[in-house]
């Protein structure tokens, strides 16, 4: 992952210049460890001297800015070797004159861009539209600081970072938040697809990539033609990334999405040396029942019908045999030492390290033994290919075409997909498709049980868990399925699950790329779910690359049973660190409810086990920031102002 820290300031502001001088960048980021990636009027960008393959520097001409990260030109089609890319005078003018829009339209990749428009006296800052590279913003004394890793910012700013109590409460309630806020009051996330512009001491935001506009211009191609297009785009994307590395390790779960990436990787013209890595849970969990406390029983049974126990080695072996590639298997271990969770570096929100401990260990071993330069995955496949049981196809078809011929077939297919009766689907199609009434997904965040303090929980509303992009999609009158699809773009922060191995190798999620998203967003949901099958178009597009068992398989592996066992095994440890911890003392969690839950023989009957482990992650995170605040309190730290524009 590209690591960087960038500073922007107003060269005409004495306050900004005083702050810059006081920061003493060269002491906080010594030149033996850090180098200057770009230095121009009012901007300084630095990065560690040791970087990975994807960590490139693309300067614009005449100090007009810089792009950090890996870029690919949409017009390039030969990925037998890694493409070289640089900006000439013409490219620079187009990027500057369009306020960065030309960069988004012509190129794709994982990057942060800082563009200086000298004529207009303004700076534009934005990251790749899908947001695959983290970018956090801190405002301090007239200086804007952007960083990929908050721990670097704390070295530069030895001040207190107040906890964002509202954010932490929402995170404890539902960890998959999609918001520009972070767990720290004065640290904001630069939204993907948005451009932040600084001009004469003021800041403004505007959209530079609009998935809603893409979804509103549907491609009504027949499934066969759509499948060919999707296949071409995904293959080209994998080819582009594969060309950058000599040795790739692909995290092959055995599911559909990772198997598709494996098949595309095997076809890549650059032919990198490839190894597969599979992580599974103990086969003894086969009969463990997946638990979903709080959910409607009928809905819970639907979910159980597609949830596997997490041992997908059989399917991973089929893929490895298909392409004759070595498969390294590792198992999750119930003897996991939860004390290791304290080793995670500072982050802007609690780290779900417990989900990745064994994977990280295996990845580090492969970096050392095989020289792995990158770890590929099938992340985002569910979102981009539309993995769902919701009755979306018929509703969307009716929304777009009314009572046009073909609607009944869509209703029949949707009944198969959603496991609802024809009459139920017909009613939803008429209500949400023909009449276009608002549609609510069957699972709400408020269906989840919680041990949150009653007062805190009572103050939470649905709006607290709705992303700005989802709100825009609802107002745009998109069909229900496309609203669902767009929401998937809003949460793509897979870098939050990259830990120690990210210091030594790149983590690449090819499906979570701008070209793939643009292709999928243009296709109606009934095309993506062709035949009434979850991810149906993807299954058709890559049929010849997939073992038949995987192409037809509807069940998905899960770590739920493993976490249930892990919580039972560590009840005493959880009680020790949670019942007298900061989450209780600062009234985030209800002590009585937590005590009763952890006193039970099986706490996950009350609260899903991953949520209980998330509480532990939040406790550790809160302690880390309290400890840091204590270290700087003697110097009477300055107060950071809000990072919101």
Full 3-state SS string of 309-337: CCCCHHHHHHHHHHHCCCEEEEECCCCCC
Tokens representing 417 are: 């997909």
State how far the Cα of 606 lies from the Cα of 608, in Å rounded to an integer. 7
Determine the Cα–Cα distance for residues 429 and 613; give it in Å rounded to an integer: 40
Structural domain includes residue 353: no
**Confidence check: pLDDT of 53 > 80:** no
Average pLDDT of the chain? 91
Q: How confident is the model at residue 328 (pLDDT cuts 50, 70, 90)?
A: very high
Q: Compute the distance between CA of residue 140 and CA of residue 157 in angstroms, rounded to an integer.
A: 9
Residue 308: other Cβ atoms inside 10 A:
20
Cβ atoms of 381 and 535 within 8 Å: the answer is: yes
Going 160 to 161 to 165 to 168, the CA torsion angle's sign is negative
Q: How far apart are CA 375 and CA 502, in angstroms?
A: 9
Mean pLDDT on 544-557: 86
Q: Which domain holds residue 189?
A: 5-162+178-209
Residue 88 included in any domain: yes
Task: Please give the Cα distance from 428 to 441 (Å, whole number).
Answer: 12
Q: Is residue 422 part of a domain?
A: no
Q: Of the residues 170, 190, 209, which one is the last residue of a structural domain?
A: 209
Are 395 and 428 in contact by the 8 Å Cβ rule? The answer is: yes
The enclosing H or E element of 414 equals helix 407-418
CATH code at position 83: 3.60.20.10
Q: What is the mean pLDDT of residues 472-492?
A: 88
Q: In this structure, what token pair is assigned to residue 115?
A: 């563009």
The string of pLDDT tens digits covering residues 577-620 is 999 999 999 999 999 999 999 999 999 889 999 999 999 999 99
Would you call 114 helix, strand, or coil by DSSP?
A: strand
CA-nearest of 521, 558, 560, 557 to 537 is: 521
Assess whether pLDDT exceeds 90 at residue 49.
no
pLDDT single digits (tens) 62-111:
999 999 999 999 999 899 999 989 999 999 999 999 999 999 999 999 99
- Measured CA to CA in angstroms, residue 551 lies from 305, 377, 427, 620 at distances of 17, 18, 31, 41
Helix 609-632, helix 571-578: angle, nearest 10: 40
Instruction: Please give the full DSSP string across 441-479, using - where no structure is assigned.
Output: -S--GGGS---B-HHHHHT--GGGG--HHHHHHHHTT--
Give the three-state DSSP class for 79: coil
Of 152, 186, 209, the last residue of a domain is 209
Torsion 124-129-130-132 (CA) sign: negative
Residue 12's SS3 state is coil
H/E run at residue 410: helix 407-418
Residue 641: what pLDDT? 53
CA dihedral 470, 471, 472, 475 (to 10 degrees): 120
Backbone angles phi, psi at 337, to 5 degrees: -85, 105
> For 494-514, what is each residue's pLDDT tens digit?
999 999 999 999 999 999 999
Q: What angle do CA 133, 57, 364 make, to 5 degrees?
A: 55
CB atoms under 10 Å from CB of 371, counted, come to: 12
19 belongs to a structural domain: yes
Q: Is the pLDDT of residue 309 over 70?
A: no
Whether residue 401 lies inside any domain: the answer is no
Task: Indicate whether 610 belongs to any domain.
Answer: yes
In whole angstroms, what is the distance from residue 553 CA to residue 531 CA? Answer: 14
Burial string for 36-51 (b: 16+ CB within 10 Å, else e) reads ebbebebbbbbbbeeb
Q: Which residues contact residue 553 at a Cβ distance below 8 angstroms, ignoring those fewer than 6 apart?
A: 256, 315
Rg of the chain, C-alpha, whole Å: 25
* Stretch (H or E) spanning 57: strand 57-59
Residue 84 lies inside a defined structural domain of this protein: yes
- Is 160 a residue whose pLDDT tops 90? no
- Residue-wise pLDDT for 285-304, tens only, equals 544 555 666 656 665 565 55
Q: Looking at residue 285, what is its pLDDT?
A: 52
Report the SS3 class of residue 498. Answer: coil
Contact 161, 639 (CB under 8 A): no
Of residues 211 and 493, the one with the higher pLDDT is 211
| 3 state SS of 529 | coil
Residue carrying the six token digits 């009027």: 41
Token pair belonging to 309? 């126990």
Higher per-residue pLDDT: 24 or 392: 392
CB distance 512 to 382 below 8 Å? no
CA atoms of 502 and 497, how far apart (whole Å):
10
Summarised one tens digit per residue, pLDDT across range 400-434 is 999 999 999 999 999 999 999 999 999 999 999 99
CA–CA gap between residue 229 and residue 411 (Å, rounded): 26
pLDDT confidence of residue 295: 58
Calpha distance 151→138 (Å, rounded): 12
Three-state SS at 155: helix
Return the closest-CA partner of residue 168 out of 449, 444, 460, 446. 460
Distance of CA 542 to the CA centre of its chain: 24
Tell me if residue 116 falls in helix, strand or coil: strand
The number of distinct structural domains making up the chain is 2
**pLDDT (0 to 100) of residue 637:** 46
Residue 447 within a domain: no
pTM for this prediction = 0.93
Q: How far apart are CA 329 and CA 317, in angstroms?
A: 10
Phi, psi (degrees; rounded to nearest 5) at 83: -75, 145
At residue 159, the pLDDT reads: 82
**Backbone phi, psi, residue 349, to 5°:** -150, 165
- Tell me the two tokens of residue 348: 């802007």
> Domain boundary residue among 154, 189, 209?
209
Hey, CA dihedral for 400, 406, 407, 411, is it positive or negative? negative
Q: Give yes or no for a contact between 447 and 563, defined as CB atoms under 8 angstroms apart.
A: no
Q: What's the pLDDT tens digit per position in 329-383?
A: 998 888 889 999 999 999 999 999 999 999 999 999 999 999 999 999 999 999 9
Q: Is 552 helix (H, G, I), strand (E, B) or coil?
A: helix
């Amino acid at each position: 992952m590209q690591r960087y820290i960038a500073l922007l300031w107003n060269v005409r502001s004495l306050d900004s210049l005083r702050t810059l001088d006081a920061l003493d960048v060269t002491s906080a980021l010594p030149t033996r460890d850090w180098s200057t990636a770009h230095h121009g009027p009012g901007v300084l960008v630095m990065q560690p001297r040791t970087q990975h393959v994807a960590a490139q520097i693309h300067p614009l001409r005449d100090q007009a800015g810089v792009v950090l990260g890996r870029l690919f030109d949409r017009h390039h089609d030969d990925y037998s070797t890694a493409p070289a890319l640089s900006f000439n005078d013409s490219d620079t003018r187009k990027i500057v004159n369009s306020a960065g829009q030309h960069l988004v339209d012509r190129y794709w990749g994982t990057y942060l861009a800082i563009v200086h428009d000298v004529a207009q006296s303004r700076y534009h800052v934005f990251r790749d539209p899908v947001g695959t590279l983290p970018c956090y913003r801190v405002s301090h004394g007239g200086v804007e600081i952007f960083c990929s890793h908050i721990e670097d910012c704390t070295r530069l700013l030895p001040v207190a970072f107040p906890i964002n109590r509202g954010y932490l409460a929402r995170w404890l309630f539902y960890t998959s938040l999609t918001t520009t806020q972070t767990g720290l009051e004065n640290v904001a996330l630069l939204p993907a697809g948005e451009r932040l512009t600084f001009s004469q001491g003021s800041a403004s935001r505007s959209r530079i990539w609009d998935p809603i506009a893409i979804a509103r211009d549907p491609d009504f191609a027949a499934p066969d033609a759509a499948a060919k297009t999707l296949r071409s785009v995904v293959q080209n994307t994998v080819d582009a990334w594969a060309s950058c590395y000599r040795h790739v390790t692909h995290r092959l779960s055995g599911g559909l999405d990772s198997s598709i990436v494996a098949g595309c990787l095997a076809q890549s013209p650059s032919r990198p040396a490839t190894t597969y890595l599979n992580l599974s849970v103990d086969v003894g969990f086969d009969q463990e029942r997946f638990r979903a406390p709080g959910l409607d029983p009928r809905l819970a049974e639907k979910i159980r019908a597609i949830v596997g126990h997490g041992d997908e080695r059989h399917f991973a072996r089929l893929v490895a045999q298909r392409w004759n590639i070595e498969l390294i298997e590792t198992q999750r271990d119930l003897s996991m030492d939860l004390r290791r969770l304290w080793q995670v570096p500072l982050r802007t929100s609690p780290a779900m390290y417990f989900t990745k401990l064994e994977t990280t260990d295996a990845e580090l071993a492969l970096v050392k033994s095989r020289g792995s330069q990158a770890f590929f995955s099938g992340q985002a496949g569910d979102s981009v290919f539309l993995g769902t049981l919701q009755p979306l196809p018929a509703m969307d078809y009716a929304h777009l075409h009314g009572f046009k011929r073909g609607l009944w077939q869509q209703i029949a297919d949707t009944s198969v997909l959603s496991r609802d009766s024809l009459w139920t689907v017909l009613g939803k199609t008429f209500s949400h498709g023909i009449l276009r009434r608002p549609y609510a997904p069957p699972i709400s965040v408020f269906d989840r049980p919680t041990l949150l303090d009653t007062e805190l929980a009572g103050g939470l509303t649905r709006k607290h868990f709705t992303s700005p992009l989802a709100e825009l999609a609802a107002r745009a009158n998109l069909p229900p399925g496309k609203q669902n699809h767009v929401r998937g773009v809003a949460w793509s922060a897979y870098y939050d699950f990259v830990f120690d191995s990210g210091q030594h190798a790149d983590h690449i999620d090819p499906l979570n790329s701008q070209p793939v998203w643009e292709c999928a967003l243009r296709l109606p949901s009934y095309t993506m779910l062709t035949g009434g099958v979850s991810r149906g178009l993807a299954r058709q597009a890559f049929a010849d690359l997939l073992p038949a068992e995987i192409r037809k398989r509807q069940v998905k592996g899960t770590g739920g049973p493993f976490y249930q066992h892990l919580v039972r095994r560590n009840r005493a440890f959880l009680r020790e660190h949670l019942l007298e911890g900061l989450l209780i003392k600062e009234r985030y969690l209800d002590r009585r409810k937590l005590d009763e839950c952890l006193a039970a023989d099986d706490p996950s009957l009350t609260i899903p086990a991953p949520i209980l482990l998330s509480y532990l992650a939040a406790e550790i995170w809160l302690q880390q920031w309290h400890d840091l605040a204590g270290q700087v309190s003697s110097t009477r730290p300055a107060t950071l102002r809000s990072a919101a524009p």
